Structure 1
Amino acid sequence: MRARILFATLTGNNEDVADVIIAEFQRLGVETIKEDITNVEALDLNPTTQDILVTVVYTFDLGTLADEAIDFYEDLPDVDLAGVVYGVAGSGDVYYGQDYGTAVDILEQQFTKTQGIQGAPGVKVNLRPDAQATIELEQFTQALVKQAQRI
């Protein structure tokens, strides 16, 4: 089984989130690839190159998607991810109240247009992964793997 993790980060928090997910994938014996989302064209995604696709994006400003992920986001509805399990995680800051972690919601909504299979509800991390967020990210990763095993 192969997982591809795409991340966007300014502060390093989302790379930390991605690394927690990767560590759990590796513990579960899943081959993983980690890439900066700016280096990936959504239109080049091929369902045969990964079983699981995870995006880790941060929420910017007042609830907007990270600039690094906008091109990916805009092209995503034109991608056929039939048979691919997807999941979205990302950091935010609870200081922003209702705008906290909205990038996760925004990207999850866009993934519904790809025919991919949502493997787990999105995970929002306040700033960087603490002990509780690490547990949630590990459970998220386990759910993705279980869903991919069903296919």
Structure 2
Amino acid sequence: MLTAHVVYATMTGNNEEVANIVCDSLTNLNVKVTESEISQTDVTEFAKADILVVCAYTYDEGAMPEEGLDFYDDLQEMDLTGKVYGVAGSGDRFYGEYFNVTVDRFDEAFKKAGATTGAAKVKIDLEPYEEDIEHLNEFAKGLVETASK
């Protein structure tokens, strides 16, 4: 059975909701899922799963969640060869060019750590709506398909 660890950082609750949707979708695909808040998660524990997911917000003009900075730094130092990852996040289009750049930064951190992209990044404006939920379900499906190969 595949295992997944979904980590989230949230200020408004939107990214916890994104993480919950991903977890439910993965569970429905017969994946054993662990979910945790980013500041309560050690990267070494996170790296024990087959599928690794980060759901994090971007605030102000491209700032990453302060509670996730250590996790982000540690992630880049890991060897995640053979792991499949995905990144999703909620942000605010109001910030224009800075919209959800944390998703891009975590995507780069996973690549630096040698992990394999399992699904295209998902960027959500504010809270997840029906269309976003469909994207997140496809995201989870892509992660499982990639990890199953």
Superposition map of 1:1-151 within 5 A: 1-42=2-43, 44-45=44-45, 47=47, 49-150=48-149
State the alpha-carbon separation in 2 of the partners of residues 68 and 120 from structure 1: 25
In structure 2, the CA distance between the partners of 1:46 and 1:22, relative to structure 1 (3 Å rule), is closer
5+ residue gaps, structure 2, are: none
Q: Give the letter aligned to residue 103 of structure 1.
A: T
> Quick check: 1:45–1:79 contact (8 Å CA) kept in 2?
no
Percent of aligned pairs sharing the same letter: 38
State the alpha-carbon separation in 2 of the partners of residues 2 and 22 from structure 1: 11
The alpha-carbon deviation at position 46 of structure 1 amounts to 6.6
State the alpha-carbon separation in 2 of the partners of residues 32 and 46 from structure 1: 11
> Quick check: 2:5–2:46 contact (8 Å CA) kept in 1?
no
5+ residue gaps, structure 1, are: none
TM-score by length of 1: 0.94
TM-score by length of 2: 0.95
In structure 2, the CA distance between the partners of 1:93 and 1:30, relative to structure 1 (3 Å rule), is same
Say how many residue pairs are matched: 148
In structure 2, the CA distance between the partners of 1:58 and 1:102, relative to structure 1 (3 Å rule), is same
Report the more deviating stretch, 130-139 or 75-84.
75-84
What stretches of structure 1 move > 3 A for 4+ residues in a row?
none
